Amino acid sequence: MSGQANTPIHDHLIRGHDYLAQRPEFSLIGRTNTLQQLTAILTRRDANNILLVGSGGVGCSALCLGLEERKSAEDAPYDLISKRFFWLDSDGLFASGNPNTINDSFQKTLKTLARTPDSVLIIEDMRDFIEASRSNGASNLINALMRAVRKKDTQVIIESRDADLNVVLSAHSDMREYYTVLDLSEPAADELLDIVAQTARRRLEPFHKIRITDSAIAAALELTEKYRVRDMGLNRAQPERTLTLLDRALTSYRLRAHSKDPSIVVLEAELAALAQDASNAARMDELKAKIQDLSHSWQTRQQAIKKLFQELRSGEESIRRLDNELETQLLKEAEARQSAGEDNEAKSSTAAMNRFMLDTVNIDSEIITRIKQKIAQYESLVKEKKDEFEAQTKAINDQLALEQEQVLMEFSAISGIPVTKLTQDERKKLLHLDAQLAQRVFGQEVAITKLANQVRVAKAGLQAPNKPQASFLFLGPSGVGKTEIAKALTAELFDDENALLRFDMSEYMEKHAVAKLIGAPPGYEGYEAGGILTNEMRKNPRRIILFDEIEKAHPDVFNVFLQILDDARLTDNRGLTVSFRDSIIMMTTNIGTQHFLGESNFSVAEELAMADLEEVYRPEFLNRFNGRQNIVCFKTLSLSIIEMIATREISKLNQMVQTTMPNLTISMDASALSAMCRDHYKPVNGARGITGYIEGVIKPEIANTVLFAEQSSGTISIGYDEAARSAVMSLPDGQRVESALTTGP
C-alpha cells in the first residue's frame, strides 16, 4: 500500500499546441471538406462527439492534428478557435499496470477536462484503449468516459480502423447515441496528387537528400492505384501507400547510386548498345576511356568519404571516452572534498570560508580543465570532419534525382510484375484489348467486342455517374468461356488474373447468405467479421468481380445485386458504405443452356434463352445490364474452335516440359489433334472435355516419359489411335508407348 500511496498521479494529457510542436514538419494538405465536417459536428448541441473511422494510412490522425493547426489560420471560425484539444497519452496511462493507479490517473484526466472550457479529448486508437482497459482490470474507464460525455464535461474524438469498428461500438450501449460516425475515405485523385507531392518533398527529400521528380510521383501514384500487392506497407490506404513506395524506391536508388557512379551506369548502357555494330569502334574506345577516368575519380572520392567517416567516428568515440573520464574524475574529486571536510571540521573558520568560496565559484581542478580542453578540441575536429563528410555526400546527392524508372524497378521487385508490363502504354493496351482477349477466349467475338467497348467507355470517363464501370450477364453452355473471359480481362487490366474477385453463388443458396456478403446483423455470430464482399471492396474498390452461376443464389441475394448495379454502393452491417463505381461486375448463368445445345440456329436459341431469363428474373434486374444490351449469349464452340483450344493446351504443356528439360519438345500433328478433338469433344461439356482429356490422359503419360525415359533430348510425338480412342506416345529414340489410360466411346 505504501508503494501505491507514493505513486504520483498524472492527468496523461498532451496539450494540442504541444502535440503539434512535436511535429514541426506537419502540415495538413487538402481534406478541406472533411475538416469542415469535423468542425460542424464539434459545434453541434447533441451527438457532438466523433468516431473517426478509416483504413490504416488514410489520415485519421492527420485530420485531428489538422484541427489544431487550423486554429491558427486567419479564417478559422471562433467556434473552432475556442476548442481546447488534448491528446490522451494511453501508453503512459496504462504503463503502471496497477488498476488503482490507472483509475486514479484517468479520473484526474477527466477532472482536468471538466475544468477546461470547450475541451476535446482525442484518443488515437480506441481499440487499444478498450483492450488495455480490460486487460489491466480497469474496464470501468469506458463507463467513466461515457459518463463524462453524457454530462457534457468534455467532447471526445476517437479514432478507429474500420476493421475494429464493431469492437468500439459494442464497448458501450450509448456509443451510437452520443457519437457521430465519420467514415474517412481515400482522397480524390487531384487532392491525392497534391497530398503525395507536398508530403513527399517535405518528409522524404530532406531525409534521403535526393530530389523527387514529378514523373516519379506520378508513376508511384499510378502503380499503387492500379495494383494491389500483398506487401504489408503497400496494403495500406492512400496516401500512405504511395508514400511508402516512394520511400522504398528512394532507399534502393540511394544504395545503388552510392555504390557506383550513376554517370558510369549511363555510359555503360550506351557502350552495350554500341557493341552490336563494329563501325562504332572509335566511339566505344572514347566511352571506355571516359568510364575509366570516371571510375578512378569515383574510387578516389569513395576512399576520401570512407576516410572522413572513419575520422568522424574516431573523434566521436574519443569524446565518449573523455566524457566517461570526466564523469569519473568529478565523482572522485567530490568524494575527496567530502572526506576532507569531515576530517577538518574543527579547523578555523577562515579555512571553512575558503572551502565555501571554492565550491561557490566552482573552480575546476587542473585535471578536469585538461579533460574539458581535450573534449572541446575533439568536438571542433568532429564538426570539421562532419561538415567535410556532408559536403562530399551532398556533391553526390545533388547529381541524383528519383525518376520514373527507379519507381518502376522498385515496384517490379516488390510485386513480381515485369517492368515491361508496368511500362505498357495504357491507351495502346485498351486499343488492342479485343485482340488480347481473343487470344484466350476463342469463338466469342460478340462478347469480346461488347466487353472491350464498355471498358474503353469507362476508362475514357464516359460511364454513367454512380454506376459500375461496366456490368454484364453472360449466359450459354458450360465450358464456352464465360468465366475465362473474366480472368482474361483481369489479366489484361491488372496483369494478374488472380486479382479477380470471384464468388461461386452455389455457396449462397441459403436465406442467410446475404449476411456472408455484407455481414451478419448485430448480435448474431460473425457480426464482428463484417461481410466478405464489403470487406474486399473497402480494401480495394478497383476490382473486377465475378458472380458465377447466379441462378443458384438465394432470391434475397438479388436485392444486393440490384443495389450494386443501380447505385454502385452498398452499406455493410456496421453502417459503412463501400463504392462499386470503379469496379466491373460480371455475372454468369446456366439458364437457357438447353436451347444452345439443341438449336442449330443461334439467333433462335438466343431468343429462347432470353425468354427463360425473363421467366426467372425480375425485369428491374435484367434492365440493370445497360438496358439488357450487356446480356450476352455465348455460342456453342465448333470443332475448329476446340482444335484451336487443344493446340493452345499442347503448346502450354510443351512450355512446362521445356522449363525443366530445355532440350525436350512435345509435338502433336494436326491430323492426330483433329481426331482426338472429334472423339472427345461433347458440346454439353464445352472446352472442358478436351482440356480434361489432356490433363487426365496425355499429361500423365508425358510425366512418366519425362521422369523415366533415358532420353532427355529430342521430340516426344503425340499420336492418336482412332480405333482405340487413345493417345500414343513416340519417344525420341522411336520407341512406341501406348497410353494405359484409354477412354471408352
How far from 198 is each of 133, 397, 398, 408, 598, CA to CA, in Å?
Answer: 39, 20, 20, 21, 64
Q: With beta carbons less than 8 A apart as the criterion, state whether 674 and 642 touch.
A: no
Q: Hey, which of 53-57, 272-276, 606-610 has the most confident mean pLDDT?
A: 606-610
pLDDT band of 662, cuts 50, 70, 90: confident
Other Cβ atoms within 10 Å of 66 Cβ, number: 22
pTM flag (> 0.75):
no
User: C-alpha 668: how far from its chain's center?
Assistant: 45
Q: Residue 149 and residue 141: Cα distance in Å, rounded?
A: 12
Report d(CA 253, CA 407) in Å as an integer: 9
Place of cell 551506369: 265
C-alpha cell at 389: 563528410
CATH number listed for the domain at residues 639-738: 1.10.8.60
Residues forming CATH 3.40.50.300 domain(s) in the chain: 2-185, 424-633
DSSP H helices in 116-261: 126-135, 140-150, 165-169, 175-178, 189-199, 205-208, 214-226, 240-257
Find out whether the peptide bond into 732 is cis, omega within 30 degrees of 0.
Answer: no
pLDDT of residue 352: 52
Q: State the average pLDDT over residues 58-81.
A: 90
Q: Where in the chain is the domain with CATH 1.10.8.60?
A: 639-738
CATH H superfamily, domain 2-185 = P-loop containing nucleotide triphosphate hydrolases (3.40.50.300)
Q: Does the pLDDT of residue 310 top 50, yes or no?
A: yes
Pairing between β-strand 119-123 and β-strand 84-88 as defined by DSSP bridges: parallel
Distance CA 525, CA 563 (A): 25
Q: What is the mean pLDDT of the chain?
A: 83
Domain 424-633, CATH among 1.10.540.10, 3.30.390.50, 3.30.590.10, 3.40.50.300: 3.40.50.300
DSSP 611-640: HHHHHHS-HHHHTTTTTTTTEEEPPPPPHH
pLDDT of residue 276: 67
- CB-side neighbour CA atoms (13 Å) of 348: 3
Q: What type of residue sits at position 416?
A: G
Residue 329, amino acid: Q
Residue 525's pLDDT band (boundaries 50, 70, 90)?
low
Residue 344 has pLDDT above 60, yes or no: no
For 123-169, what is each residue's pLDDT tens digit? 998 999 999 999 888 888 999 999 999 999 999 999 998 888 888 88
Strand partners, 13: 88
Share of the chain above pLDDT 70, in %: 88
Q: Give the chain's end-to-end CA distance (angstroms, integer).
A: 90
What pLDDT is stored for residue 167 in this prediction? 85
- CB count in 10 Å sphere of residue 109: 25
Return all residues near 9 (Cβ < 8 A) that are at least 6 apart. 101, 104, 105, 108
b/e string for 374-405 if b means 16 or more Cβ within 10 A? bbeebeebbeebbebbeebbeebbeebebbbe
Q: pLDDT at residue 366 above 90?
A: no
Residue 123: strand, helix, or coil: strand
Q: What pLDDT sits at residue 342?
A: 59
Reduced to 3 states, what is the DSSP secondary structure of residue 742? coil
Which of 22-31, 123-132, 289-298, 382-391 has the largest mean confidence?
123-132
Backbone Cα Rg of the chain: 36
Range 421-443 average pLDDT: 85
Mean pLDDT for the stretch of residues 431-446:
90
Q: Could you read off the pLDDT of 460-512 as tens digits, one per residue?
A: 878 887 889 999 999 988 889 999 999 999 998 888 888 899 999 999 998 88
Identify the CA nearest to 181 among candidates 33, 37, 66: 37
Q: What secondary structure does DSSP assign to 636-676, as a single string? A: PPPHHHHHHHHHHHHHHHHHHHHHH-TTEEEEE-HHHHHHH
Return the number of other C-beta atoms located less than 10 Å from residue 337's C-beta. 13
DSSP 188: P
Q: Which CATH class is domain 188-419?
A: alpha beta
Label residue 10 by pLDDT band (50, 70, 90): low
User: Strands 584-589, 470-475: parallel, antiparallel or unpaired by DSSP?
Assistant: parallel
H-type helices in 22-122, by residue range?
32-43, 60-70, 78-81, 90-94, 99-115
Q: Is residue 466 within 8 Å of 580, Cβ to Cβ? A: no
pLDDT in tens, 599-627: 778 889 889 999 999 999 999 999 999 88
What tens digit of pLDDT does each residue of 681-715 get?
Answer: 888 888 888 888 888 888 888 887 766 655 567 78
